[in-house]
A and B are shown apart, each in its own frame.
Chain A
């Protein structure tokens, strides 16, 4: 556990980081970013919490089995979205023109409509779940191990 200043700043910053990561994930098909990048931003909030509060306090809130399940379900969502269009080809974009993220934009710059992209936003969410839970699980398990062997705090 670090000093009061670091903990207070962490309390202030973590919601902003989480919201920004969520924005990068959810707008991956409209603006720059995507599942990987937004997931890394989201997981950096977990790293900040882990550094500021120490693994003893964090490991009760971020449990490794839960994180593993979330990561695996994200990978399943991704590959399920890939298999959804298997009738045409693997990774065929099934949802273009349908009711789910189905709007097709005009050619040219068009950033107003976010209900676009077909299967891409769903894949973004799947990859983001995979990345967020995976990176967080790695950091938490490493922190627990290092605190057990006496190197960490």
Chain B
């Protein structure tokens, strides 16, 4: 019984919060940030690339992509290192 009351109260509170956030949302097409407008207007002149997403990933935020590539490389290195053929292992 208490459990049901707690679950119901939580759902009501979360629902009210979502409703309030939905009411406070900015109108469509007017984002909070001005950074996206800057990127859209300047990508083609600054980076020379037609694809703004690629320009963000590899130019404006290149450091982030460096981290992603490093994560992938580290994972590959770890898997190959763990599953390698050992020296003392008999050949199949």
Interface residues of A (CB under 8 A from B): 28-34, 36, 64, 68, 71-72, 75, 78-79, 82, 90-91, 93, 95-97, 101-111, 113, 116-120, 123-124, 127, 130-131, 134-135, 137-138, 141-142, 144-145, 148
Within B25-54, which residues are at the interface with A (CB < 8 Å)?
A: 41, 44-51, 53-54
- Residues B54 and A124 in contact, CB atoms below 8 Å apart: yes
CA of A1 to CA of B7 in the docked complex: distance in angstroms? 53
- Residues A28 and B48 in contact, CB atoms below 8 Å apart: no
CA of A33 to CA of B86 in the docked complex: distance in angstroms? 39
**With an 8 A cutoff between CB atoms, is B57 at the interface?**
yes
Partner of A97, one of B48, B53, B92: B48
Interface centre among A106, A111, A120, A142 (most CB of B within 10 A): A120
Instruction: Describe B's contact surface by its main secondary structure.
Output: helix
